[in-house]
Structure 1
């Protein structure tokens, strides 16, 4: 049985099965990226729900794993050289899981870097900009009721990014080389959230992006993705 005592988070969330990957997450667009990848890869894992409304992610035992105090994070008891490893930042975790299994990341060097470009595009653009749009459009609407600038700024940036995605998907099923990769996994939950999370289909005129909407719907219906989208369960 693996010894996870070196990770303080294991005191906060004791592992029932310390021999499998421990996932600390919530079913947000960022969180489900990792659970979808774990499901697609068939890796055994144990999930611990991080209820961010309670600020548990700021507890010192969690911050010891992720200094940024955000989800998701993992502890893999079987890391490099067979030693346990803790990881944070969803993009880094996706790369780690892909390299651990040899799946979801092309082996061809050029295609690998192309995939990483789209992954970084999500991390630096789609996630922050879509998230800010959702914040002002849905969660802080009362605070900006007399100032449309924040919502309009992030609406315009969200649409700009969707334009890029629509063009990329014009004649392809996946983002890179007709191969389902961690880039697809990183991006499609954010596109999906514009409707399912923020209820902003009309505000963003999402019908202007039919290829993107079809792609996100198609990927969300993959059996492994459908499971991962509900980890940890919302109910």
Structure 2
């Protein structure tokens, strides 16, 4: 059995999409990051960076006791190996998928996250920051659009690379982007969004967090962290 420590963010959606696609049995353990549940000692024992998602596999393949994981990219790679799906069947497929997964982890996610922050959550409007991250978002969209010019999916067959990228494109309007400007990306986005497992993952999210708003108290929890947060 798999325990998924989860909240309704793009990184959380990556894992529910995979689990629904692969048909692996799992239990969701909600971690409300707006109220500070990510700082509870039991969660930190699994996820020392106090971020969701995290995963505990109680029946790993080596049979040597539970394995806990944090970082969504690492979780996707682990699950792909466990399920024997979506991680590539050859060395070349696996290499291609890994590159685009790391591209998402190192670029698409962090840059779009900063976009969300300065456009939506920052307590003051900082035009330079907004222009910087909206522009970088557009650049990354263009990279993905070019990549998808001659293929249906990001890294060959449908894979964890698609599952990692898709949730970050969902809020394209909030990021100041129009998918019509990126026609290959738009076609891919619509294709992935029609998948039964993807729709199920978002249904799960809606059932857990029906009103995904950020209150003033949640802002203090989410955006007021520093070294003392970890020391304490």
With the shorter chain as reference, the TM-score category is 0.7 to 0.9
Structure 2: any 5+ residue segments left out of the alignment? 211-232
- 2:172 touches 2:178 (CA, 8 Å); kept in 1? no
Structure-2 residue corresponding to 1:54 = 35
Query: Residues of 2 paired with 1:47 and 1:125: CA distance?
Result: 27
Which of the residues 140, 163, 182 maps onto 2:160?
A: 182
Report the alpha carbon displacement of residue 221 of structure 1 after superposing the two structures with TM: 1.6
Count of aligned pairs: 207
| Partners of 2:96 and 2:191 in 1: CA distance | 22
Query: Which deviations, in whole Å up to 9, do the C-alpha atoms of 1:8-63 show, x marking residues without a partner?
Result: xxxxxxxxxxxx21011012110010010000000000101111011110111111
1 CA distance for matches of 2:89 and 2:57? 23
Displacement of 1:80 in angstroms is 3.4
What is the CA-CA distance between 1:186 and the residue it aligns to? 0.3
**2:7 counterpart (6, 15, 26):** 26
Partner of 1:100, secondary structure, is helix
What does residue range 140-179 of structure 1 map to in structure 2 within 5 Å? 140=122, 142-144=123-125, 147-177=126-156, 179=157
Q: CA deviation at 1:97?
A: 0.5
Displacement, 1:209?
0.7
| 1:71–1:89 contact (8 Å) kept in structure 2 | yes
What residue in structure 1 maps to residue 77 of structure 2?
95
Distance 2:187 2:199 in 1: 15
Unaligned runs of 5+ in 1: 1-19
1:70 aligns with 2:51: yes
Contact 2:47–2:70 (8 Å) recurs in 1 = yes
Q: What does residue 126 of structure 1 align with?
A: 108
Kept in 2: contact 1:189–1:216 (CA 8 A): no
Deviation at 1:229, TM superposition (A): 2.3
Q: 1:205 to 1:220 in 2, by over 3 A?
A: closer
Q: Deviations over 1:84-116 (max 9, x none)?
A: 111110000000000011100112101111100
Distance 1:205 1:34 in 2: 26
Give every structure 1 segment of 4 or more consecutive aligned residues whose post-TM-superposition deviation is greater than 4 Å. none
SS in 2 for 1:53: coil
Question: Matched residues in 1 for 2:7 and 2:190: separation?
Answer: 21
Distance 1:29 1:96 in 2: 18
